[in-house]
Amino acid sequence: MSRVLTISIPEYTVDSCPDSPTIGEKPDKLLYDNFPGKTVVVRCVGLRDHSAMTLDELVDTIAKTGTDKYDDTRQGVADHMVPKQYRDRQWFYGEEVHIDVPEKMNKMGEIIEDFYDGAIGDRGYPIRVDVVMVYERDALERLENVYEGITASDIYVFQGSPKAALLGVVKVL
């Protein structure tokens, strides 16, 4: 089973726009302390999108299976954007991150901001990052040409087992 890490950020709420750069420093440091120098892909999810589960149940499911995609019938917000030839494979949205000194990273601050602002645009309400999955970059294939006019994308597919690709799961309290 993958490592399960916990970080407490009680000041992080989505009742109003969070101070994303400041809040993001804590999970950036946790990533650095546990995966220094690695290039990984992080996938973040909010418990609001998994309301049938508790945070502990969701983290346990991810640690056991390697993914939060536990229900084949469940549709994501942007499933329609994934090319048809990849829809039968395990795919997900993620961010490639080179784990460097936390002062240089601020990747989690960017993700927290996107989960607030971007989710309001996609769903009409903000999402709090409650779980961070950390995957081995070399165990994934990044899809290209998913978005019109842009080669790179933020969609990845597993080259093998999701469980084998998962380096750790971070529970954000």
Beta bridge mates, 140: 158
Predicted structure pTM score: 0.91
pLDDT at 1: 59
Question: Which pLDDT belongs to residue 116?
Answer: 96
For residues 42 and 111, is the Cβ–Cβ distance under 8 A?
A: yes
Low-confidence ranges of the chain (pLDDT < 50): none
What is the reported pLDDT for 25?
94
* Neighbour-count burial of 90, counting CB atoms closer than 10 A to its CB (0-12 exposed, 13-18 middle, 19+ buried): middle
Per-domain boundaries in the chain = 3-71+78-172
Give the per-residue pLDDT at 60. Answer: 95
Q: Which of 120, 131, 156 is nearest to 53 (CA)?
A: 131
